[in-house]
Structure 1
Amino acid sequence: MQSFRTELENLDNPVVEKDIIDLAARIEKFNNGDIDPDKFRSLRLARGVYGQRQPGNQMVRIKIPYGKMSVKQLRRIADISTEYGGGNLHATTRQDIQIHYVSLDRTPELWAKLEQDDITLREACGNTVRNVTASPVAGIDPNEPFDVSPYAHAVFEYFLRNPVCQEMGRKFKISFSSSDKDTGISFIHDIGFIPKVKTEGGKEIRGFKVMIGGGLGAQPAPAVKAYDFLEEDQIIPFTEALLRVFDRYGERKRRVKARFKFLLADIGLEEVMRLVKEEWNALSTKSYKIDTSAVAGPVLPTTIGFSDKALINPEQFELWKETNVHPQKQEGYYYVEVKVPNGDISSQKAHKFADIISKYAADDVRVTVNQGYVLRYVKEDSLKSLFTELDDLNLANPGFDSTADIIACAGTDTCNLGISNSTRVALELEGVIEREYPELIKNNDIKIKISGCPNSCGHHAIASIGFHGSSLRNKATKKVLPAVQVLLGGGLDKDGDGFIAEKVIKVPSKKAPDVLRVLFNDYDENAEEGEYYATYFKRQGKDYFYQLLKFLADTENVTDSDYIDWGKDEQFKVETEVGECAGVIIDLFSTLMFEAEEKAQWAKQAHELGNYADSIYHAYSVFINGAKALLVDKGVTVNTQAGIMKSFDEEFEGDFESVVGSSFTDFVLRIKQNEPSKEWAEKFIEDADQFLGKVKEVQEQETETV
């Protein structure tokens, strides 16, 4: 594993180097049995290393902020997948790229090589701010008021390694749409930004409509509006304040309730915004000017490329051009959408794809939320040649983001949480559409999305027609069948309003193609002219569709093949393990004290570097972890940081009076009452050190008493 140090010599970022060295050291400790497995899991997840369904293998999630990659970065990722993984690049619904079948011991070296081309794994998984997503047509969208790419980039950079969001109760997701059409699907995000422009005194002012509290998972919820217009310099301070609120008051014990959407539902929008205002004083910056030049402009090919291959299928080219090619706001240029089944492209194909991009498009490829790619700044004269070369790679399939372009998560192929196969179902359903309903290749209203479990990594909860993996028991035989839960009526309408799909019925997985046939035929026969599918679903009602599909749920007439999942040969059985994507919760005294002491060191290091806001937040974490350690040691259940403070006052009243006074809660929450300064940071760190010393003293006394 030490070979990774050679790769570090090519880096010039000491923070990144330290991060990679730290991961390698923790892997060595884990292998030697010197570190708690749950603590180690939490650490590696925050560095993009996720346990696979196959024992001994890791999935490495590569963070691609707002989906933007250079050709050089694409090549680097392809090389990494060949050398360290299974030779495949899997695009996700968060505009990440995942590599599977990686050895844990090789992840530091892999990470070091990625960082040589400014690619990170940091906070791609775990209880962190996940990849910041954005509309893949940001900067070229004819409907956009301005390019949101620099804003997404600024948010990504500001919160990467930020102490406020390293160990939250759960993950936190942020998106940027390019226009009111909500192309970044803000309504399913913890924070969604939609660009707006207003004019005051003849001056144009940029800002954002802000949506908060959206989320999918097993209990999806749409976001609510926090601001009609928040000026551009306020989006980062607002995000930091909201993250502080989530970190302090969000659930930490019951994992299923630990997302921000549940906190919002619990205390309401008005109280959330009041708490945000309370946090404002402690922010390191009250106004953060976005550098709109931080994202480089397009680098175009020096010469217009042409293919020497003849256009064999003119009709297919015209269909592709109709469905996958669109004019940019920049006159004379087009963007081209590349449909990728299941988001999977081999390393070898990725290199050839990179050759094509270099020849015909800007050095700026965007991964999309529907697991494809967008090429930008293509000249009209190049379209036939581009199509011909993409077609050679089977990457010129028409119908990008249409009914025939089905999203599917990895499911039981690699994920611990997968219940039934999602990728193979997607391919089967695409086949039904291509063979029996080819006209739907031009339909951009009905979206089909599939997940292997209820957690909605495949976005089934916002699908017009959604499926998630499940199981059914045949009451007569007592045998279990692979099944899919059918959901209907989700998605976006023409005005950008979002809808959550409703669960309708559960059917055997092998009946999924028949579900499509019934639904398509019904819609064709009964929908009104121009009626959107979500509108049609609402008009007919959930029970109408339940009755329509009920016969397919009947398990009395199933055949032997129905007991075998798609792509498998053996009898189906449910095989799931505890998922890792949201991290874990550690409740061991020694582990919590280790974390508290570690945070105390980080607080001092940040103070020495002049990062006073960071040092203060690290010191705050010392108080929280130290208090939680004593409470856990005493058998007290604690759910939130606010709850920790309250319970600590109740359980240890008087024991800590010499250090914190009469109220531990008031003592700690001074963090909200003081602006970050050198003197205040120094004082808060000193107080945290004294508190930690007292925690050790009290715990020793408790142990002696026992």
Structure 2
Amino acid sequence: MYQYDDYDRALVHERVAQFRDQVERRLSGALSEEEFLPLRLQNGLYLQKHAYMLRVAIPYGTLAASQLRVLARIAREFDRGYGHFTTRQNIQFNWIELQRAPDILALLAEVDMHAIQTSGNCVRNITTEAFAGVAADELLDPRPLAEILRQWSTINPEFLYLPRKFKIALCAASEDRAAVAVHDIGLQLYRDERGELLLRVLVGGGLGRTPIIGQVLREGLPWQHLLSYVEAILRVYNRHGRRDNKYKARIKILVKALGTEAFGREVEAEWQHLKDGPAELTAAEYARVAAAFSAPTYQQLDATDLDFGAALAREPAFARWAARNLQAHKVPGYAAVVLSTKPGLSAPPGDVTAAQMDLVADLAERYGFGEIRIAHEQNLVLPDVRKADLFALWREAEAAGLATPNIGLLSDIIACPGGDYCALANAKSIPIAQAIQARFEDLDYLHDLGELSLNISGCMNACGHHHIGNIGILGVDKNGSEWYQITIGGSQGHDAALGKVIGPAFAAEQVPGVIERLVATFVSHRSGDERFLDTVQRIGLEPFKQRVYHAAEATA
């Protein structure tokens, strides 16, 4: 993973000292809450329903074991014993006392971590996929490029006060596991027929109140122009984006208003002032940043491990876990392991206890190279595990509640904290997620259903990415009561799509039954091993609507 230099450390430590002074002035009354608001947001501190919430940055989702242990310590000493991993590859602590926030940031700084730009109208955490650097289908490790973007965007004075928050995602594999199409800027690396590394630039994607799939703005952009072209986009947005209405301030609204072609012309004109200038990247600069990533020392192993094969044959539960929770590795004899944070009723999706964090740090050192990744699906990843060690790792993870074999299945629910914590939420997310998980506890049945994503958001801000779930659930307010709108047909990846609303919203107690009827409709219309998404695309919404609403009328 990336190793901080003296400049990185100086910046982070100076920010801690600055924020400590700001907090002291707020506590003394020298700063009003209105004056303090933009200062705390610049340091990832939100005021939620019950307490302050601190959002800690995990750039491109990569953590060292030592860093995860500090997050465990923060959960134990400053929170209520857990943290919540988010769809932005960050971690949130929900029970923070204002006067102790600077001490947390000081602890983070000691292990090269911070909360800078995890909130506010600025460029947020740069994200990529959790398997970056190890995925069998990637062209190159995208993290050095993500790190270059992070360094360029951190406290960049030109882009600290944008019309609205700004999110960038980068993918360098044949399969898009970074959801680039639903970001303000999505960057897809690919090679042309001559082997040249190029960028496909998508712009204007995003979920929230006005969900939009990003449009291709530029094909065939040489990778050396990454920074200058992103800067051109941000300059156009900063100049023309709306500031009079926060609901219409995102870049997607500007692109939609101007049209992709007209917006593209503005960007190209701006880019003429930037291209071939100081922002142009060189192979030497990429190599400099890439060298700051500590490369694992892999062993030369056979692709087929006999002990692993024997364990698969001997232990059906291990085989089921291996089938769902392992990802192919580019180095023979290794695998990437996904540790599920979705055990069902025992914990909300994305929540990990301090004890579990400490264990995962231990596992990363014992079975890997001391590195952990955070997936935007809110699960944890150990990227480099020898196949010979998988059985032993599985037994330890299972004992800690981190080995549910449900990755990509219905119970692998993505959910925001919702109305239990968030002041913006219209409805609760966690009880709905757990009620659905309780209804679908039969893992054999889930495996038979196959790939099926279910995402839940407690409000229109869509922190749970409900629009791109195969089944999406959105909490809405109806005369002061919590109701839930259902969409189906959403998906992420290269063929990203927004789910379509099936009809009127449902009361909380109805939702598990609605999901059950959607699944039953899928099963009755399924062709062979067809996925839920494929069936929806083939037969349309009507059969699902009829099954759900006729049943609801019959029980009314």
The structure-2 alpha-carbon separation of the partners of 1:157 and 1:299, relative to structure 1 and needing over 3 Å to count, comes to farther
Amino acid at match of 1:210: V
CA distance in 1, matches of 2:112, 2:64: 10
* Cα distance change on mapping 1:36 and 1:229 into 2, 3 Å: farther
Match of residue 460 from structure 2? 454
2:87 alignment counterpart: 93
Matched residues in 1 for 2:42 and 2:553: separation?
A: 44
Say if 2:172 and 2:190, in contact at 8 Å, map to a contact too: no
Q: Which has the larger radius of gyration?
A: 1
The equivalent residue for 1:234 is: 225
Relative to the length of structure 1, the TM-score reads 0.71
Q: Which whole-Å CA distance do the structure 1 matches of 2:439 and 2:55 have between them?
A: 32
Mapping of residues 622-633 of structure 1, within 5 Å: none
Q: Secondary structure at the match of 2:236?
A: helix
Match of 2:472 in 1: 466
1:328-376 Cα shifts (integer Å, max 9, x gaps): 1111111111100211111122112211221112222110011001112
Distance 2:22 2:184 in 1: 31
Aligned pair partner of 1:17 in 13, 23, 39: 13
| Aligned residues between the structures | 531
| Structure 2 partner of 1:334 | 335
Instruction: Return the letter of the residue paired with 1:504.
Output: I
Q: CA deviation at 1:551?
A: 4.2
Q: Aligned partners of 2:462 and 2:354: how far apart in 1?
A: 27
- Structure 1 stretch displaced more, 113-122 or 441-450: 441-450
Alignment of 1:23-422 (within 5 A): 23-54=19-50, 57-200=51-194, 204-280=195-271, 283=274, 285-289=278-282, 290-291=286-287, 292-298=290-296, 314-341=315-342, 342-422=349-429
- Does the C-alpha gap of structure 1 residues 260 and 74 become closer, same or farther in structure 2, counting only changes over 3 Å? same
Residues 552, 238 of structure 1: alpha-carbon distance in 2 compared, 3 angstrom cutoff: farther
Q: Which amino acid counterpart does residue 487 of structure 1 have in structure 2?
A: T
1:559-638, aligned counterparts within 5 Å?
A: none
Partner of 1:580: none
State the secondary structure of the residue aligned to 2:263.
helix
Q: Which amino acid aligns with 1:227?
A: R
1:508 touches 1:553 (CA, 8 Å); kept in 2? no
Q: Is the 8 A contact 1:234 1:288 kept in 2?
A: yes
Is 1:491 aligned to residue 491 of structure 2?
yes
Q: Deviation per CA, 1:249-288, whole angstroms, max 9, x where unpaired?
A: 1111211111110000011222222222333355463412
Question: What is the CA distance between 1:482 and its match in structure 2?
Answer: 2.7
SS of 2:370's equivalent in the other structure is: coil
Cα distance in 2 for residues equivalent to 1:556 and 1:401 = 32
CA distance in 1, matches of 2:523, 2:427: 30
Residues 11 and 115 in structure 1, CA contact (< 8 A), matched pair in contact too: no
The aligned amino acid for 2:331 is: Q
Contact 1:300 1:363 in 2 (8 A): no
Give the whole-Å Cα distance in 2 for the aligned partners of 1:343 and 1:466. 17
- For the 8 Å contact 1:365–1:375, the answer to whether it is kept is yes
Q: Which stretch of structure 1 is more off in the superposition, 166-175 or 313-322?
A: 313-322
1:551 and 1:165 map into 2 onto residues whose CA distance is 52
- Residue by residue, what CA displacement relative to the aligned partner does 1:534-582 show, whole Å, maximum 9, x if unpaired? 343234333443333224655994xxxxxxxxxxxxxxxxxxxxxxxxx
1:662-673 to structure 2, matched below 5 A, reads none
Asked whether the 8 Å contact 1:178–1:184 carries over to 2, the reply is no
Deviation at 1:212, TM superposition (A): 1.1
Q: After TM superposition, give the deviation of residue 377 of structure 1 in Å.
A: 1.8
Give, in whole Å, the separation in 2 of the partners of 1:209 and 1:240: 15
SS in structure 1 of the partner of residue 192 of structure 2: strand
Task: Give distance in 1, aligned partners of 2:451 and 2:167.
Answer: 25
Aligned to 2:303: none
Task: Provide the TM-score with structure 2 as the length reference.
Answer: 0.89
Instruction: Quote the Cα distance in structure 1 between the aligned partners of 2:358 and 2:371.
Output: 15
What amino acid is aligned across from residue 253 of structure 1 in structure 2? D
Q: Shift of residue 466 of structure 1?
A: 0.8
Name 1:445's counterpart in structure 2: 451
Q: 1:260 to 1:552 in 2, by over 3 A?
A: farther
CA 1:191–1:242: 2 relative to 1, 3 Å:
same
Change (3 A) 1:274 1:285: farther
Q: Distance in 1 between matches of 2:28 and 2:554?
A: 50
Paired residue type of 1:513 = P
Change (3 A) 1:360 1:88: same
Q: Is the 8 A contact 2:419 2:429 kept in 1?
A: yes
> Partners in 1 of 2:472 and 2:391 — Cα distance?
35
Change beyond 3 A, Cα 1:162–1:299: farther
Aligned twin of 2:522 = 523
* CA distance, structure 2, for counterparts of residue 273 and residue 11 of structure 1: 35
- Alignment-derived partner of residue 533 in structure 1: 532
Which runs of 5 or more residues in structure 1 are unaligned?
Answer: 1-9, 474-479, 558-706
RMSD: 2.7
In the alignment, which residue of structure 2 is the partner of 1:510? 509
CA distance in structure 1 between the aligned counterparts of 2:182 and 2:8, rounded to whole angstroms: 37
DSSP 3-state at the match of 1:396: coil
Q: Deviations over 1:314-336 (max 9, x none)?
A: 22111101111233111111111
Q: Which runs of no fewer than 5 residues in structure 2 stay unpaired?
A: 1-5, 300-306, 343-348
| Aligned CA distance change for structure 1 residues 12 and 381 (closer, same or farther; 3 Å) | closer
Distance 1:419 1:212 in 2: 29
Amino acid at match of 2:528: E
Relative to structure 1, the CA distance from residue 123 to residue 199 in structure 2 (aligned partners, 3 Å threshold; closer, same or farther) is same
Are the counterparts in 1 of residues 13 and 109 from structure 2 also a CA contact under 8 Å? no
Task: Tell me the alpha carbon deviations over residues 275-316 of structure 1, each in whole angstroms, 9 at most, x when there is no partner.
Answer: 223333554634123333332212679xxxx9xxx99x9221
The 3 A distance-change label for structure 1 pair 417 and 225 is same
Is the 2:27–2:99 contact (alpha carbons within 8 Å) kept by the matching residues of 1? Answer: no
- The residue type equivalent to 2:501 in the other structure is K
Question: CA contact under 8 A between 1:48 and 1:62: conserved in structure 2?
Answer: yes
**1:610 corresponds to which residue?**
none
**Matches of 1:233 and 1:464, distance apart in 2:** 36
Over 3 Å counting, the alpha-carbon distance change for 1:242 and 1:12 in structure 2 is closer
